[in-house]
């Protein structure tokens, strides 16, 4: 909704309604601020100072006047009104209010204003349709003004922090997954000079004890990156071109590159990269060099996505092997995995395992004794294969 159709709605209201409300505006403004102070704790603290409260009443009075000035007059584009509310968003940031409190304060004020307009309408004996139209105008204003307040707030917030903190805040915003609007992210992106791509890839960095500090300049300057948190990371549009600096990672540092996702799913790429990094540190994913690329290990990541469920699966599927000595368990598990994967003959399995066919035949007989008809059931074979594959990936003490 733009300001033009909202202005058109205000223009359809009878001018006598605006004339009736206008003398009450100073009192309405005071009631609005009183309502805000009563309902929003942050505002009560900020407006406890008499000067701050007087300034809030004055700003509110001006805003109400601008709204009532539209009643019964030809439609006007209210770009200047939007500018006023963007300025109010900036003021709220510098007062120390949160974005949520700023938005809530306007909603409370709109509710107080509506009660005053409705009272004036009833005194004038205006029809229900007119009052409904006034409510529709106020609802449209809430949507538009909240956006303007947020834009002003975000702009002031972005300007108040240095480039490194802006990059970190944008990274945390996008990888947090919830609790932000595109306007929040765009304001920070503009501040750091980052153009929103269609897709991004998260990168997680980890360091060994005694590793040097993360080298400055390793990443492009205009990317969302938080290098001081417990899990340092960055977001890049194209890993092939944006991560060329990873070849210069100093000794003791490693990087895990997540999967490419739409920007709205950056949190998922970050989650996968964190998981892969943790598995690599436990020795469950191996890679050559300091960079781990998640898209090369999708099967392993899927298999180890939920280790609790994996333990339940292994406990049930591999229960027949549980009482065996370690060496016998290892030999039979290797033979069983090859058998369920290939459904091959004893000579074929023997070639794969580099043992004598007679040895394989003896092991297969033992496996038939232990597992019985399970080995003929496709679903059971799949469960056994998954459990055996996971067992190979996980260290003995995992």
Q: What stretch of H or E contains 233?
A: strand 233-236
Tokens found for residue 38: 């009563």
Give the DSSP H/E element, type plus range, for residue 202: strand 199-207
Global confidence as pTM: 0.55
Domain 3-159 falls under CATH 1.10.490.10: yes
**CATH code for the part of the protein at 309-393:** 1.10.10
| Sequential pLDDT tens for the chain (398 residues) | 233 344 566 777 788 888 888 899 999 999 999 999 999 988 888 888 888 888 889 988 988 888 788 777 755 545 567 777 888 888 888 888 888 888 898 889 888 888 888 888 888 888 888 778 777 877 777 778 888 888 888 878 777 677 888 888 889 889 987 667 777 788 788 888 888 888 999 999 988 887 787 777 778 778 898 887 888 899 988 877 767 667 778 888 888 999 999 998 999 999 999 999 988 888 888 877 888 999 989 888 888 887 788 788 888 888 888 888 888 888 888 888 888 888 878 888 888 888 898 888 988 888 888 888 888 888 888 888 888 888 877 765 44
pLDDT of res. 294: 92
Q: Going by C-beta distance under 8 Å and a sequence separation of 6 or more, which residues neighbour residue 336?
A: 321, 367, 371, 384, 388
Q: Supply the pLDDT for residue 274.
A: 93
**DSSP code string of 242-261:** HTGGGGGPPTTEEEEEEEEE
3-state secondary structure of 205: strand
Q: What is the pLDDT of residue 319?
A: 85
pLDDT at 76: 52
Nearest Cα to 59, choosing from 11, 92, 35? 92
Q: Exposed/middle/buried for 2, CB within 10 Å: 0-12, 13-18, 19+?
A: exposed
- Alpha-carbon distance 202 to 200, whole Å? 7
Query: And the tokens for 42?
Result: 């942050």
Question: Are 3-159 and 309-393 the same fold in CATH?
Answer: no
Alpha carbon distance 144, 85 (integer Å): 10
- Spans of all domains in the chain: 3-159, 165-303, 309-393
pLDDT of residue 37: 92
């Amino acid at each position: 909704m733009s300001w033009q159709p909202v202005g058109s709605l205000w223009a359809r209201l009878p001018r006598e309604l605006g004339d009736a409300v206008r003398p009450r505006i100073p009192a309405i403004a005071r009631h609005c601020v009183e309502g805000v102070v009563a309902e929003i704790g942050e505002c009560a603290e900020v407006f406890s100072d008499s000067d701050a409260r007087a300034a809030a009443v004055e700003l509110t009075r001006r805003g109400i006047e601008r709204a009532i000035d539209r009643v019964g007059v030809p439609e006007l584009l209210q770009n200047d009104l939007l500018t006023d509310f963007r300025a109010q968003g900036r003021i709220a940031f510098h007062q120390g209010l949160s974005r949520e409190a700023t938005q809530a304060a306007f909603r409370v004020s709109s509710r107080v204003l509506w009660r005053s307009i409705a009272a004036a309408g009833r005194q004038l004996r205006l029809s229900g349709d007119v009052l409904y139209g006034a409510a529709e105008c106020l609802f449209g204003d809430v949507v538009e003004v909240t956006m303007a307040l947020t834009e002003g707030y975000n702009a002031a917030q972005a300007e108040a922090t240095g480039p490194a903190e802006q990059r970190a805040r944008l990274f945390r915003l996008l990888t947090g997954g919830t609790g932000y609007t595109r306007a929040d992210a765009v304001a920070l992106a503009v501040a750091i000079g980052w153009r929103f791509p269609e897709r991004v890839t998260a990168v997680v960095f980890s360091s060994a004890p005694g590793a040097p500090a993360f080298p400055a300049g390793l990443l492009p300057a205009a990317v969302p990156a938080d290098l001081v948190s417990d899990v340092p990371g960055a977001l890049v549009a194209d890993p092939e071109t944006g991560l060329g600096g990873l070849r210069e990672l100093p000794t003791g540092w490693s990087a895990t590159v997540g999967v490419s996702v739409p920007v709205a799913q950056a949190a998922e790429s970050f989650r996968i990269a964190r998981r892969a990094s943790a598995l690599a540190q436990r020795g469950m994913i191996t890679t050559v060099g300091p960079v781990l690329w998640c898209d090369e290990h999708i099967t392993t990541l899927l298999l180890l996505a939920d280790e609790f469920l994996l333990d339940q699966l292994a406990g049930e599927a591999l229960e027949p092997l549980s009482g065996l000595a370690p060496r016998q368990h290892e030999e039979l598990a290797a033979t069983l995995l090859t058998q369920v994967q290939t459904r091959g003959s004893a000579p074929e399995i023997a070639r794969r395992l580099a043992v004598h066919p007679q040895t394989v035949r003896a092991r297969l007989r033992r496996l038939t004794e232990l597992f019985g008809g399970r080995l003929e059931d496709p679903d059971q074979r799949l469960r056994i294969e998954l459990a055996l594959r996971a067992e190979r990936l996980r260290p003995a003490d995992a």
